[in-house]
Structure 1
Amino acid sequence: MSISEVVKDWNIWMYKLLFNNLCVKKHITLYDYNEFERVHNNEFHGDIYEAILRKFQKNVFLKTMPWSTLEDFLNRVTAYQELEKNKNILKFYGITVSDPSKFMLVLEYTNNGSLQKYLKDNFKNLNWNTKLSFAKQIASLIMYLHSKDIIHGSLSSKNIFVHNGNIKLNRLEISKNITEINNLTERLFQPNQYYDPKITKLISSLKHKKSLDIYSLGIILLEIFNGILDNLSQKIDLINYLLFKENIQSGISYELIKLCKDCLQPNETDRPSIQEIVNCLDKIDLKIKQNELISPAKRIKLENSKFCNNIESKDIEYKPMFVPIITRGDEFLFNLFDFFYNTLESQHLDLIKFIIKKYLKEINKNPAMLLYQLIKYPHRIYFTSLIGFLYQYGIGTSVDYQLALEYYLQAINEIIISSNKNSSVFPIEFLIRNNKSSGLILLGNLYLEGRGVKKNIHKAFHLFTKCAEEGSSRALVLIGFCYENNKIIAENKRRRQIFETYLKSAEQGNTTGFCKLGNCYLEGIGTEVDKSKGYNYCLESARRGNIVALHMLGRCYYNGDGVHRDVQKAFEYFMECTKFGFVDGQNDVAICYENGCGIEINKKESLKWYLISAENGKTESQRTLGNYYKDGTVTLRNMIKSIYWFQKAREGKDTYSSGILDEFIDSVDRIDPNS
């Protein structure tokens, strides 16, 4: 053997040793290429080979992957391992090397081929549920990637696989991390003021690559629901034709066709986000299920957006739904729902969104990922009130009252357990009851406030009463609130009903009931004024964790109601409830800083808290800011900002601000907008 051959063998040996060592460090299984048999090209993918892993007699895919260095290749593999935790991404088994320059991934085999092939072979036999399942799986998978700032970049029905009716994604080696793209382009083109504007436009486009996946998804959705077409112009013509027809013969809903068209908008900024797409598909799915659940004679036409305004709770006739038992693996969602339900039971409704957001932040849970997890959860029927709540308040998504209402309707549906309840780790009846109770309360609150539906206090009262009859002391508090807003009943009778309802809720141990009862004694609503009782009931509510009660205790100390006046304690209580986003507490903290109550006068801090409170919708703070900017006593005089905040306060029905604005309008010619 020549010296050159010895050196070559030595280099190959060292190369393998280094590679093996790197694989061990990164916990990657390395297969000898000789362990595979019947290796042959896949019919539809030139860079994928089908093979059998001899040791286990298991079909696998061998996929070539571009690389520049060993470290680069293994880093790509590690990134793939992180992504393949998602069940819709091909499982990663390990790597193999066919020759020193050809590295291959060993991946899960799919028995139905590509989605394109599957649709061509089976389209006529696919039912609506299967097609919708494919669409939702793909959209949810893209949402998963985008939540990790990963773009695919070349989605098509060719590189999406089908395995036992489930979607499997391939070709992740061309995925790019958006942060890496941004950093790369900024390094390449700084300082950018010296470059042609076309370069700047190019960099900007690189930072919005998610829209590429959205466009591709639009094509894929159209293929799923209408079949494979030869070219894009055919697809566009089909979309326009289906949108034009009043009655769609193919069975594709109008919303779905419109969604496809929106995804294919030429201007990428006009395309929907992946979250909006998932929401839309979920809506369509829910509408189908609702139509199946509601009796045909009294079916609610979910396609008509006006149904929210016309729906009568007595018209809702659900068939029983059978659901499986949950197990220990569901512990996180069980605990989360338990926290949500307890918060709903113990706090005023307008504070719960702040508490939930704070809780998710504390446990380091991404709200969008939580919503994704709940939507994908096979037994989500247990948590539909929570999902509806997230949609109602835009937690992890955009605000969607329509979808919130539909989930609340799901929550109040009758559920029958389909297996032995003793096999469950968690008390299923407890989950079902609390989910239904939460759904009734939140659905009633939509009608009470007129959010997404026409305001209807009678429908709200009916739902709260139904919930109270099933044992909810929290619903009693909301019945009392309905009495507060019912101006038809004679004043004395109405005030007595308010007091008795809150008293009954408190007697049943409801935390919010104690707070409301305390307010009745403080204000003399339906009973004689008793400041001492009012203070003590608020104290009991605060001890049980009610945030509004904390604020009321602050007011008691501030005014000396039922307790010795102590403005320092008042300030401490006000500051404590601001931690949970309570807007009245924010306003009172501003007042304390302004006047030196319990804290040194600090105009800067006062202005800061007034701004926080005003931005959260507190009319009193908005009016104060209007005066601040009008007079220029605390901050620089600015008539434009003054008018802005007075206008905000007027929208909140503030008569003082309305009068100030009328004066501005009368003297508009004398106002210098630059003053």
Structure 2
Amino acid sequence: MGKVKDEELRKQVSNFEQASKNITKKRALEEIENIANSGSDKAWYWLGILYLDGNRWSADIPKGISALKSASELGNKAAMNSLSWRYWNGQQVPRNRELGASYAKLAAEQGVSLAALTYGRARLRGIGVDQDKADAFYWIEEAAKNSDTEAAQKLGAADAKADLALLYLKGDGCSKAPDKYLELIQQSAEEGSEFGHFLFGRELMLGETIDQDVNASRKHLTAAASAGMPEAQYVLAVLLEGDQYGFNEKDAAFNWLQLAAEQGDSNSQRELGHRYKRGISTNTDFVKAFEWYLKSAQQGDVSAALNVGNFYHAGSGTPIDLVKACEWWRKGAEAGNELCRLNLADAERLMNSVSEDRTQEGEYTSNMMTRPARKTIKSLGQVCQWCGEDVAGEDIWEDFFCSPAHFYLWLDRQ
């Protein structure tokens, strides 16, 4: 009887997919619902998926979710996994991490590797469920063991191996095992996980835990970067750019940084700021440099905060604003950046040495922006006279020093 139902279900699903008119699709759905009402979990699952598919007709989300829940109650693991994914990511339903974790556990208990990985990650971070690193290790290990032949589940197992590797590396929920970490990230990469490609490629680049192989590193990092992983795009740019690894492909590095920065990677945003500031693989553009530095600084990057402060102080790419410069230097100083601390101290010393005359907007007047005269500079050039770093631009800090702090350090030695 079950076999007959399955054959009829396949027929009606095919009818739905091939139908060109909504009225024909509705007729097929009615037939699938009849099969579902006879107790077929597969029919309820397909009914849910088809109702939720807005690409081929007008979706009915409430009916779709209800059908998936009916399938889940009858033990359908695909429905459990689908509900987990939808609630966890807020796809077609309001995001609900508790429900997402709950359905993930149900599917994980039936051997769905993607669900086991989701539930393990939830347990590891305490999202939607109580944190328990030992239980997280158990479920991620179960996901990594999965031998399901379905492509998505096999990839889920490969991703789980990369996650499991990090647990072994950090000793989260298990004893530290660096050798196991290396073994698992290599397996994960070989099985197609972008995270595995990233971890293994990074280790091959650094050559600290295994023999360095920059060509193999490039292959693995490119696989992860091409899949859209911003962290891999950034590390690949580092690999390609300088002479350290033998590639010296600055233009290719710039392109990868651009992709990663547009996805919000703060390291890449900071590095793009450097390149627009110095004209590396692009025209010098202080406005764009400032924009990228600001995006990075807003995510907590201390080096970017230093540069944002410098740009506000110098009026490079943005109007001069000493108050905002001090705000960013203060953030950097509080995070432990010594140059930000020195810049802030210098700026506050300057502010205390001039009148407190302010504009209506509360900004300091131009007499507070007085710079040391150019005649005090004894050694001119296109590198910072204190640290030797390449600099460019029109302002005194940009011409001869990478920051006001370095100017004062240099001046004190004269």
Q: Pick the aligned partner of 1:534 from 217, 229, 241.
A: 217
Query: Which one has a larger percent strand, Structure 1 or Structure 2?
Result: 1
Q: Which residue of 1 aligns with 2:205?
A: 522
CA RMSD of aligned residues (A): 4.6
1:600 is paired with a residue of what secondary structure? coil
Code of the aligned partner of 1:509: G
Change in CA separation of 1:580 and 1:322 when aligned onto 2, cut-off 3 Å: farther
Tell me the equivalent position of 1:468. 144
Instruction: Give the Cα separation in 2 of the matches to 1:477 and 1:519.
Output: 13
| 1:165-564 correspondence to structure 2 within 5 Å | 323-325=41-43, 326-327=45-46, 330=49, 375-379=65-69, 381=72, 382=78, 384-385=80-81, 387-388=83-84, 391-392=87-88, 400-414=96-110, 436-451=112-127, 456-471=132-147, 472-486=157-171, 494-542=177-225, 546-560=229-243, 562-564=245-247
- Matched residues, number: 302
Moved more, 528-537 or 370-379: 370-379
Q: Deviation at 1:531?
A: 2.2
Unmatched runs of 5 consecutive residues or more in structure 1: 1-86, 88-320, 337-362, 415-432
Q: Which has the higher helix share?
A: 2
Q: Determine the structure 1 residue equivalent to 2:337.
A: 656
The structural deviation recorded for 1:561 is: 5.4
Q: Secondary structure at the match of 2:192?
A: coil
Aligned to 2:363: 674
Distance in 1 separating the partners of 2:275 and 2:83: 39
Shift in Å at residue 597 of structure 1? 1.7
Residues 467 and 637 from structure 1, CA distance in 2 versus in 1: closer, same or farther, beyond 3 angstroms?
A: same
Residues 662 and 628 of structure 1: CA distance in aligned 2, closer, same or farther (over 3 Å): closer
Give TM-score scaled by structure 2 length. Answer: 0.57
Query: Structure 1 counterpart of 2:214, which letter?
Result: K
CA contact (8 A) 1:647 1:658 kept: no
Letter in 1 for 2:160: A
Residues 1:568 and 1:641: Cα distance change in structure 2 (over 3 Å):
same
1:585 and 2:268 aligned: yes
Q: Please tell me the residue identity of whatever aligns with 2:41.
A: V
**Counterparts of 2:63 and 2:277, CA distance in 1:** 46
Cα displacement (A) at 1:670? 4.9
3-state DSSP of counterpart to 2:337: helix
Q: CA deviation at 1:474?
A: 0.9
Shift of 1:566: 1.6
What SS does the corresponding residue of 1:528 show, helix, strand or coil? coil
**Quick one: structure 1 residues 370 and 500, their matched pair in 2 at CA, closer, same or farther if it must change by over 3 Å?**
farther
Larger RCO of the pair (alpha carbons < 8 Å, separation 6+): 1
**Gaps spanning 5+ residues in structure 2: where?**
1-25, 27-38, 73-77, 148-156, 357-361, 365-414
Letter of the structure 2 residue corresponding to residue 534 of structure 1 = S
TM-score normalised by L of structure 1: 0.37
Superposed CA offset, 1:521-561 (max 9, x none): 11224212232322222234445665543333222221245
Identity of matched residues, %: 19
2: CA distance, partners of 1:388 / 1:484? 28
Mapped contact 2:134–2:173 kept (Cα < 8 A): no
Structure-2 change in CA distance of 1:536 and 1:594 (3 Å): same
Match 1:600 to one of 283, 308, 314: 283
- Bigger Rg, structure 1 or 2: 1
Q: In structure 1, what residue type is equivalent to 2:165?
A: G
Corresponding letter in the other structure for 2:102: E
* CA apart distance, 1:413: 4.5
SS at match of 1:655: coil
Contact 1:387 1:404 (C-alpha < 8 Å) held by counterparts: yes
Question: Partner amino acid for 2:162?
Answer: V
Q: Deviations over 1:618-649 (max 9, x none)?
A: 56544543454456544334455456656776
413 and 448 in structure 1: CA distance in 2 versus 1, 3 angstrom threshold:
closer
